[in-house]
Amino acid sequence: MPLEERSIPALLQRDNIVSLSDAAAHLTAEERMARGRAARAAVPRSSHSAFKPAPKRPDPVVLLERQATSRVPDLVAIRHGRMLASPFAFFRGAALVMAADLASTPQVGLQTQICGDAHLANFGAYASPERRMIFDLNDFDETLPGPWEWDLKRLVASLVVAGRHNGYSAADRKSIVLVAAAEYRTAMGGFASMPTLDVWYSHVDVDQVLPDVRPEVPATEYKALTEGLTKARRLDNERTFSKLARTVDGNPRLVSDPPLIVPLLELYPKAKAEEVQRALLEVVRGYHASLANDRQHLFDGFRFIEMGRKVVGVGSVGTRTWVVLFAGRDSSDHLVLQAKEAERSVLEEFVGSSDYRNHGERVVTGQRLMQAVSDIFLGWTRVREVDQKDHDYYVRQLHDWKWAPDVTTMAASEMKVWGRLCAWTLARGHARSGDPIAIAAYVGQGDAFDRAMASFAEDYADQNERDYAVFSKAVKSGRLPAETGV
């Protein structure tokens, strides 16, 4: 059928938009551009400019209660306590709430692999295998194929929510979001014009980008940035190990810091702890099989020492997360891995179930699709634990030059730079896994889409504050348990 005879529904049908590989195999660049323009005709960019709660919008407290049923019971109160700290902290833990809301918004119809929780605190720097510091997304618990605009809407909303927390003016918040949305749009246009391999190779090397950042932020803030990065470069496995362990009777042992880190032998009586450890060591054995052969050989050079339960993040609190210590050639050679439970993505009830039966594999696959470079120890497994239930895990190094600033103390000028960096990175992840030509054609070259994002972000920040008030009331009434200060 000639292009001019194709209807908008035909140009947008799912079989043509699942992935870049499908698009490249079946459509020309001109047809992919036409598909993006058809999407714009069907779903105008201005249609994204407002957020209005759906008539039967789920109660956010009910959603959080539902999530709590699969979490470690004695950690749920810590999760709620951390979310209670501020509307921004609540936003970080409310990915399910926003996913339900995004499902009621206009859908462009162009899918990519999406992070599912692309707020501004889920970006940062880490070491590449070549020992370069790379900036990228760093949280993929919710990753799934889905609407690319959901990731961008969560990012811009987080910029406004954080901006309100930091006391920015409305004008500053609008400027920050406009710049971020424009960066996403222009970056996608750039990726649309690149050869496919160049898109895949694109990345942000922190050392290369620093000279561009320097003139955009005050000198004191730039100095703090470089000092933070320098400190992060020292946070390798040995430094991490030294913070987590101490020598007892000549043997390294985890330092107990309940409830944040608790050695396994302190969680249960001795016999039960040994039973749990035998089950959890299957995480290590099963994970080994998910690694490439060369990484298996590398991992075989380490021996298990000890493991303990760890509390991580805000929204992730309550998932089964373990820190695992290993030793290599001698007492000065260590590896510290984190095994984190991977549950069903919050997106699945809105965009469909994952193609992967193991949610650890879902996380790892999404991460590898969207990140420029991934941890060499990234892998997954499933284990039948002592509760006689199967639990999926993904595994990575706990710290390897990992760095992120405290976004709640950023000046507006810093937030503008951070938002741009996050937006470019998000566009790169979507371009790798989706159709950059179609998305670039949809967002266009003018600022219509940018302005729609700025308006949406303020609307959603209003909704987030209403939800935070409802959440706070539920905590105060005793409906939701909360433990603060942890």
Structure tokens at 335: 């590896």
Is 341:391 a contact under the CB 8 Å cutoff? yes
pTM of the model: 0.93
Q: Are strands 245-248 and 379-384 parallel, antiparallel or unpaired?
A: unpaired
Partners of residue 124 on adjacent β-strands? 136
Segment 412-423 shows an average pLDDT of 97
Residue 11 has pLDDT above 60, yes or no: no
Q: Which is it for the CA torsion 231, 232, 237, 241, positive or negative?
A: positive
Describe the crossing of helices 412-433 and 359-370 by its angle, rounded to 10 degrees. Answer: 110
Q: Are 471 and 61 in contact (CB under 8 A)?
A: yes
Phi, psi torsion values for 113, nearest 5 degrees: -70, 130
Give pLDDT, residue 251.
82
Q: Report yes or no: 132 and 377 within 8 Å, Cβ to Cβ.
A: no
C-alpha pair distances (Å), 351 with each of 125, 348, 355: 30, 5, 12
The count of other CB atoms within 10 Å of the CB of residue 182 is 18
> Strands, E, within 59-172: which ranges?
111-114, 123-127, 133-137, 144-147
If pLDDT is split at 50, 70 and 90, which confidence band does 126 have?
very high
Q: What is the CA radius of gyration of the chain?
A: 23
Phi, psi (degrees; rounded to nearest 5) at 25: -75, -30
Q: Which residues pair with 126 in a beta bridge?
A: 134
CA atoms within 13 A on the CB side of 182: 11
The distance of Cα 159 from the centroid of its chain, to the nearest Å, equals: 15
**CA–CA separation, 215 and 420 (whole Å):** 15
Confidence of residue 270 (pLDDT cuts 50, 70, 90): confident
Residue 182 has phi, psi (to 5 degrees) of -65, -40
**CA–CA dist 360, 393 (Å, integer):** 5
Flag whether pLDDT at 5 surpasses 70.
Answer: no
Residue 113: beta bridge partners? 145
E strand residue ranges, 331-389: 334-341, 379-384
State the Cα–Cα distance between residues 272 and 292, nearest whole angstrom.
34
Provide the 10 A C-beta neighbour count for residue 192: 20
CB burial of residue 32 (10 Å; 0-12, 13-18, 19+)? buried
Torsion region of 313: left, alpha or beta (phi above 0 gives left; psi -120 to 50 gives alpha) = left
- At residue 376, the pLDDT reads 96
Instruction: Give the tokens for residue 438.
Output: 């179609």
Q: How many CB atoms lie within 10 A of CB 282?
A: 15
Which is nearest to 336 in space by CA: 236, 266, 232?
236
Q: How confident is the model at residue 22 (pLDDT cuts 50, 70, 90)?
A: low
Place of tokens 């961008």: 152
Provide mean pLDDT across the span 399-413. Answer: 93
Average pLDDT over residues 66-93: 96
CA distance 331 to 345: 39
What confidence score (pLDDT) does residue 280 get?
83
Is the CB of residue 188 less than 8 Å from the CB of residue 440?
yes
Averaged pLDDT of the chain: 92
Q: Name the one residue in this structure whose structure tokens are 């000065």.
A: 332
Spatial CA neighbour of 472 closest among 58, 35, 64, 28 = 64
- Helix, strand, or coil (residue 403): strand
Residue 388 binned pLDDT confidence (cut-offs 50, 70, 90): confident
Element (H, E) at 179: helix 170-192
Query: For the residues 109-138, what does the mean pLDDT come to?
Result: 96
